[in-house]
Amino acid sequence: MILRSNTAPLCMINLCLLWISHFLLVGSRSARAMTPRYRLPGDIIPEHYNISILTNLDDNDFTYHGRVTIKLKCIRATNKIVLHAYTLTIGTDVLRVSEARSEGAPKPQHIKITNSSYDTVNEFFIAETNKPLQPNRTYIYDIPYKGTLNTNLWGFYRSSYLDQKSNETRWLAVTQFSPIHARKAFPCFDEPAMKATFSISLIHDKKYTALSNMPVKHTSILEDRDHWVKTEFETTVKMSTYVVGFMISDFEHLPPTETATRQIPFKVWVRRDALEQTRFSLFVGPQLLDFLEGYFGINYPLPKQDLAAIPDFNFNAMENWGLITFREKAILYDPKSTSVNLQQSLTFTTAHEIAHMWFGNLVTMQWWTDLWLKEGFASYLGAIAMENVITHWQTMSHQVATDLGYTFALDSLNSSHPVSVPIGNPAEIAQLFDKIPYAKGPLIIRMMNHFLGDETFQAGLQQYLNKFAYGNAEKDDLWNELTSVAHVRGALPAETSVKIIMDSWTVQTGYPLVNVQRDYEQGTAKVSQSRYFQNVELKEKLGNKQCWWIPLSYTTGHDSDFNSTKPKAWLNCSGPIVITDLPNEDSWVLFNLKATGTYRINYDLKNWEMLSEVLNDESEFRKIDPLNRMLLVVDSFSLAWTRDLNYDLAFKLASYLKYEPEFIVWDAADAHLSEIAAMLRYTPDYDIYKEYLQSIVRPAYEKIGPLAEEPDDSETSQRKSVITAMARRCGLDLYEQEAKELFKQAMTSSSDSPVIPKDIRGSVYCTGVALSGEREWKLMWNRYVKSNIPAEKENILMALGCSKDDAVLGAYLSWSIDENSLIRRQDSLTVFRSVAANQIGYPIAKTFFVRRLDDIYNFFGVKTAKMGSYLTVLANYMNTQKELDEIKNVISRNESIFEYSKLAQDQFIETVQNNILWFKTNQNNVISALRPK
């Protein structure tokens, strides 16, 4: 039975203000006249593009020549044609505009262009005509131009690889248009709502193969150049510019596989040296597409699906419709070298991108405000597909645990941002490709799935996709369709809508802390909410100014039913509620079953102690679901950080890990224990903390078997990998002895069979490099250069940062931003992250960042948001005011360099301030809790 006060409307003042702000910034569909200056005016919209590009990969200046002919529809009379173009040289003297005529009609007269100009701030190209274009008429706009294949991994860019057989460098040209980089390849209306169809032709040397979104329509040899061909592709479906894709390469593929239902052909294109590493993706990809076709009830709209592994790629992958592009490590699988973690990750990436074919490509967000609408759903639905295709991987539990870790960390900052964030200038977009849309997004979608029920949720998605197919939508459109289905099916009361619930999660920053205070005599619990802040001072100042609609599920020690995830009660903005019929003081209560809600929980101390006792009982702890065991560990440490719980209890609770068989719990615990280690590692008390870590890790390490033995199942392999990593970081003697010997064997082995099991290879490599000298470092570097396996190359890159030699680490960092080194641009941050994680390397990394700031910025190119990623790495280890002031001064003196990383700047400053506050208030508490009593 639930006791609560009368339900009040959700629209508190703060939420109303957010909605109003959101409306004003984004605009409504009926208010196009109020278009901000950085948006296209909307007077003219594209209907069709004919794109022809000649690319000479053997020309050292890497220029390409293009011509785009756009069929335009005039919406409002105008004498200005405004579209996007950036880093392109347009032939302004030969621009042509004419009114479109039907076949057989008299040839139209050209409309004279009187002036043309660039708006470099907003990346517009503007052509002015001598007379206005008229509403409801169509026009043809012909634009010749040329561009350069850049190395910044955006637009139409070049990549390369070393062919192992010939030892020659091979070049390729490929696109990356999301979010706003199609304009760097051809003049276009580069906004997601400006959908059109595309006919693409690529002219290239015949020794290369051209790919694009659609199958090849026709290939012809050029009359004046017999070794050149023109590859013409079928016309696309209606789509946004950011999912247009094309590439020219000498890539090859294994025989294609097909989906079982409709025989959609799948190919994985790759450099020939890596062909055998595509077999797993060829196996799993069609199955994922088959499942999603059935789930959505809508056929995949294109006649083929190509996947391509690109040597240099900025993202993990990109959902170009019909031509999904990947970073090599995100798609290539080698059974001897690719760890289970990475195998699952690359499968998830493939599932995520295939889910985009519907969520993102078929139905696209109206504007970048709803970036999460495609990314969050692609992640969640991709995880559903993956769990149904490979059932023994426990995909959803793993994904939830990972996403909660990212979300809880970032969204506990005041400088975080809403899931649905009002985007103004497109320059802000790149900063928002963070863990909020990609991690918090799928979490709140999963929460919605649970409170609506599977059938209602699926039916609502199908209704939404069918209604807005080949068009654009906003989150309210999805909420309306889900509410409609939910009311028909009785999944929600008539007076409640999905919007009322979900807007509390999408339009405000942060997440709630649910406080459960039990009255043991009455058998009740008072449940209230406040916002969780990592900063104690912010919590006290701002914690009670927000509220959420929170679905509450719970169980007790008497029944331990973790499968009833439908909410038994709702906590909303009406204030605290009282839950009755709870057991007395002999039984624990636990909320948020299977982590179906995105919130932390704090119990009264007695309930915490009972939960700790059951966890530390080897015969009882399995009564609690693994996801809830994970939540208890992370919540206890997070509440100890804010002094809502004492560290004595958190450390006592975590001691149960010696029994824990689940990877997700170990992985989450490792993140929080490592966070404390980062704060203490330069203090005299660090050895005391390491002793505690060793007391937890040693029993688990002794159970996982010798390092040289590879477990038979994926779950054990993953648990062994995280325990091994923890053993390395806390200096466990048993581990170091084994790892040193294994590394020595690996360095001297001439056998093709790996000496070090793939799941622990990264840890052993790191230990070997740390305990060895320059000779072994060079041997590992040579292995990196010669390796043909992306997973192995990444293991080595990370391990090379474990050296204890200052000079070696300094040189390694310099190589990471050297155009002529063998470290790829996409991996530069990996090098920086590996060195900063090294206790010896962190000050070297910080000094490198400060002194080489201009070089780093120039290496990644202008308008880069990458500088924010460097700040994020440093923030993890910084906890002194002196260091913070130093970096703040660097930022203030270099505003132009950090212009596109302002969000990351704010988060960096707040994170370090939180670290400083923790160090002042909690360092002694931690050490006191760990000293022998």
For residue 565, the model assigns a pLDDT of: 94
258 is catalytic: no
Separation of alpha carbons 490 and 100, rounded Å: 52
Q: How confident is the model at residue 6 (pLDDT cuts 50, 70, 90)?
A: very low
Q: What is the DSSP string of 22-81?
A: HHHHH--TT-GGG--TTS--SSEEEEEEEEEEEE-TTSTT-EEEEEEEEEEEESS-EEEE
Separation of alpha carbons 811 and 848, rounded Å: 10
> Averaged over 421-439, what is the pLDDT?
85
Question: What does DSSP say about strands 363-365 and 471-473: parallel, antiparallel, or unpaired?
Answer: parallel
Identity of the residue numbered 899:
E
* Secondary element (H or E) of residue 308: strand 305-310
Separation of alpha carbons 797 and 816, rounded Å: 10
* Closest CA relative to residue 827, chosen from 787, 880, 862, 883: 787
For residue 7, the model assigns a pLDDT of: 33
pLDDT digits (tens, 9 = 90+) for 109-130: 789 999 999 999 999 999 999 9
**Could you tell me how many residues make up the chain?**
933
> Averaged over 848-866, what is the pLDDT?
94
For residue 427, the model assigns a pLDDT of: 73
CB 438, CB 377: distance < 8 Å:
no
Q: How confident is the model at residue 27 (pLDDT cuts 50, 70, 90)?
A: very low
| Three-class secondary structure of residue 158 per DSSP | strand
Q: Mean pLDDT in the chain? A: 93
| Three-class secondary structure of residue 268 per DSSP | strand
For residue 79, the model assigns a pLDDT of: 96
Query: Would you say residue 584 has pLDDT above 90?
Result: no
Q: What are phi and psi of 18, to 5 degrees?
A: -65, -45
For residue 83, the model assigns a pLDDT of: 98
CB 213, CB 318: distance < 8 Å:
no
Percent over 70 (pLDDT), the chain? 95
* Closest CA relative to residue 548, chosen from 500, 486, 596: 500
Query: Would you say residue 438 has pLDDT above 50?
Result: yes
Q: What are phi and psi of 411, to 5 degrees?
A: -85, 0
Separation of alpha carbons 561 and 807, rounded Å: 57
For residue 788, the model assigns a pLDDT of: 94
| Three-class secondary structure of residue 448 per DSSP | helix
CB 626, CB 665: distance < 8 Å:
yes
Annotated binding site for Zn(2+): 352, 356, 375
Query: Would you say residue 170 has pLDDT above 60?
Result: yes
Residue that is written with structure tokens 């991987």 in the block = 393
Separation of alpha carbons 492 and 448, rounded Å: 11
Annotated binding site: 352, 356, 375
DSSP code of 256? P
Enumerate residues 6+ apart whose C-beta is below 8 A from 891: 898, 905
Q: How confident is the model at residue 64 (pLDDT cuts 50, 70, 90)?
A: very high
- Number of Cβ within 10 Å of residue 567's Cβ equals 19
Q: How confident is the model at residue 423 (pLDDT cuts 50, 70, 90)?
A: confident
pLDDT digits (tens, 9 = 90+) for 698-717: 999 999 999 999 998 999 99
CB 5, CB 36: distance < 8 Å:
no
Separation of alpha carbons 248 and 244, rounded Å: 14
| Three-class secondary structure of residue 99 per DSSP | strand
For residue 10, the model assigns a pLDDT of: 36
Q: Max CA-CA distance within the chain?
A: 97
Query: Would you say residue 178 has pLDDT above 80?
Result: yes
| Three-class secondary structure of residue 839 per DSSP | coil
Could you tell me the end-to-end alpha-carbon distance of the chain, in angstroms, rounded to an integer?
44
Give 749-817 as a 3 state SS string. Answer: CCCCCCCCCCCCHHHHHHHHHHCCCHHHHHHHHHHHHHCCCHHHHHHHHHHHCCCCCHHHHHHHHHHCC
* Closest CA relative to residue 90, chosen from 158, 181, 186: 186
Separation of alpha carbons 259 and 275, rounded Å: 20
Q: How confident is the model at residue 104 (pLDDT cuts 50, 70, 90)?
A: low
pLDDT digits (tens, 9 = 90+) for 498-515: 999 999 999 999 999 999
**Two tokens at 237?**
């479906």
Q: What are phi and psi of 196, to 5 degrees?
A: -160, 175
Distances (CA, A) of 740 to 75, 534, 733, 769, 802: 71, 39, 11, 9, 14
Sign, Cα dihedral of 102, 107, 112, 113:
positive
Query: Would you say residue 738 has pLDDT above 50?
Result: yes
Separation of alpha carbons 250 and 242, rounded Å: 24
* Closest CA relative to residue 590, chosen from 637, 648, 618, 630: 630
Query: Would you say residue 40 has pLDDT above 80?
Result: yes
Q: 123, 293, 353, 387: which is the annotated catalytic residue? A: 353
- Number of Cβ within 10 Å of residue 373's Cβ equals 26
Q: What are phi and psi of 135, to 5 degrees?
A: -60, 150
Percent over 90 (pLDDT), the chain? 88
* Closest CA relative to residue 445, chosen from 355, 546, 527, 516: 355
For residue 15, the model assigns a pLDDT of: 40
Query: Would you say residue 32 has pLDDT above 80?
Result: no
Question: What does DSSP say about strands 197-205 and 228-233: parallel, antiparallel, or unpaired?
Answer: antiparallel
For residue 9, the model assigns a pLDDT of: 34
> Averaged over 274-282, what is the pLDDT?
98
Radius of gyration from C-alpha coordinates of the chain:
29
Q: What is the DSSP string of 652-690?
A: HHHGGGGG---HHHHHHHHHHHHHHHHHHTTSTTHHHHH
Long-range CB pairs of 731-736 (<8 Å, 24+ gap) are 731/690, 731/694, 732/694, 732/697, 732/698, 732/701, 734/698, 734/701, 734/702, 735/701, 735/707, 735/767, 736/767, 736/771
The residues facing 317 across adjacent strands are 326
pLDDT digits (tens, 9 = 90+) for 747-771: 988 766 689 999 999 999 999 999 9
Query: Would you say residue 22 has pLDDT above 50?
Result: no
> Averaged over 438-448, what is the pLDDT?
98
- Rounded to 5°, the CA angle 406-409-413 comes to 130
Separation of alpha carbons 907 and 492, rounded Å: 38
Dihedral in degrees, nearest 10, Cα atoms 409, 415, 418, 422: -150
> Averaged over 155-160, what is the pLDDT?
97
> Averaged over 722-727, what is the pLDDT?
98
**Two tokens at 446?**
């999963």
Separation of alpha carbons 602 and 638, rounded Å: 10
Query: Would you say residue 28 has pLDDT above 60?
Result: no
Enumerate residues 6+ apart whose C-beta is below 8 A from 539: 530, 531, 532, 533, 642
